[in-house]
Copies of this chain bind each other. A is one copy, B any other.
């Protein structure tokens, strides 16, 4: 059993598509995370809740990776409207949708136990 001081727990909600890249990037700097599946609410559909445990000195690096891997960006999507149902050519134009985003609750951990 190992006790570590100054542990933080980040309860982090990200889009499903951004989760694997973030988990990998965190792992590369020695930060472990566990994935819970979640739905709705803080982000548009299809999100994942990550439990990220770290020491205080790793907090800035973790936030930097979250910003980098989950930044809100726009993507051009062409709506899949059948031609017959979209006589107005405007409807077939690509539209901008927002993807990404993250919500992070940083919690102070009283005690961290590893068995």
Is B115 a contact partner of A105 (Cβ separation < 8 A)?
A: no
User: How many angstroms from the CA of A105 to the CA of B54 in the assembled complex?
Assistant: 11
Q: Taking chain A's interface residues, is the majority helix, strand, or loop, or is none over half, making it mixed?
A: strand
The copy count of this chain in the complex is: 3
What residue of chain B has the Cβ atom nearest to residue A41's Cβ? B34
Chain A contact residue count (CB 8 A cutoff) = 44
Binding site for B on A (CB under 8 A): 1, 7-9, 11, 13, 23, 32-42, 47, 49, 51, 53, 63, 66-67, 70-72, 100-115
A39 to chain B, nearest CB (A): 5
Is B23 a contact partner of A34 (Cβ separation < 8 A)?
A: no
Is B9 a contact partner of A34 (Cβ separation < 8 A)?
A: no
Is A42 a contact partner of B32 (Cβ separation < 8 A)?
A: yes
